[in-house]
Amino acid sequence: MSVDGRFWLDRNVLVTGCSGLLGGWLSGALIDAGAHVIGLVRDQDPRSRLEREGIGRRMTLVYGDITDREAVERAVNEYEVATIFHLAAQTIVGTANRSPLSTFRSNIEGTWNVLEAARMIGTVEQVLVASSDKAYGSHEHLPYAEDAPLHGEHPYDVSKSCSDLIAAAYHTSYGVPACVTRCGNFYGGGDLNFNRIVPGTIRSVLREERPVIRSDGQYTRDYIYIEDAVDAYVSLAEGMSRSPDVTGEAFNFSCERPLKVIELTNMILSLMEREDIEPIVQGQATNEIRDQFLSAAKARDRLGWRPRFGIEEGLVRTIDWYREFLGGAAAPA
């Protein structure tokens, strides 16, 4: 899709979680479209795309934690923010299982801090809250559609169910112009969480090591390439500005090609021409939903959004990014 430069030109946009995978790609796209991007940053990571590719030097960085309500309100107020992309979260399922309270604080309290700032400060026209396919919990009937009940059971899933419902409450009760996005697993260059299957597998192959699958490999997931995810968020924000009936809605974004973890791993090995490497299947995953994938019919019909990249093309682009990023560091010492 093409970004509407007239809409974004000189627009004050806050991106929470701007140093993460989606945040870095989205911030760069918005800057290129002419927006004034303000990023809320907790930790400075020199390996992130924000630092390595100079994106952070082209935006205003506000240092603070998403759980710090005053920092969030200051960023929204002082920079007269019109659009908020709320991406900041603790996103790792294993971390959530080990530390549920910090995950609840980041994902739930962080969300109400953003929405409360939008409620109090009159400049905000759109708030896009990043939920997850995991907010749905486990369902018998798949794929998930947006009207499926939200009933997460495990810490990460519950945190996303809660943030999703809080966004709906702020819209319904106070008129905060909020929408919710529910996406599958992002992948693409710049993901530095190497316990995730895509970057972890690529790094293992580059290091001549066997990739590790924590589960039994049979869990089914959605995977969406990061540039398609950026298109999704931009498309939704522009759709909110054009059609008032979009505001307050939740939208799934998916390439609608669910894969088992072992299938994805083998696909990466094939694309890297290393089918001779056999993954280590640990079968140790706990507190995770077995099968989950999304219908993106609503996004197609209401927003005109479609993914531009198939899974193979997205993986090739991702592999190329990590080859350059890891370089000589790919080989073990």
Integer Cα distance of 103 and 107 in angstroms: 6
> Omega of the bond prior to 143 within 30 degrees of 0, cis?
yes
Q: How many CA atoms lie within 13 A of 69 on its CB side?
A: 11
Would you call 28 helix, strand, or coil by DSSP?
helix
What sign results for the dihedral spanned by CA atoms 146, 148, 152, 158? Answer: positive
Name the token pair of 56: 């952070």
Q: Is 45 exposed, middle or buried (0-12, 13-18, 19+ CB in 10 A)?
A: middle
Longest dimension (CA), the chain: 59
- What three-state secondary structure class fits 272? coil
Is 156 annotated in the active site?
Answer: yes
CB contact set of 41 (below 8 Å; sequence gap of 6+): 18, 19, 50, 56, 61, 62, 63, 64
- The active-site residue out of 136, 144, 156, 223 is 156
Residue pair 254/300 in contact by the 8 Å Cβ criterion:
no
Please give the helix or strand (H or E) that residue 301 lies within, else none.
helix 297-303
Contact assessment for residue 76 and residue 8, using Cβ atoms and an 8 Å cutoff: no
**What is residue 277's three-state secondary structure?**
coil
Residues serving a catalytic function are 156
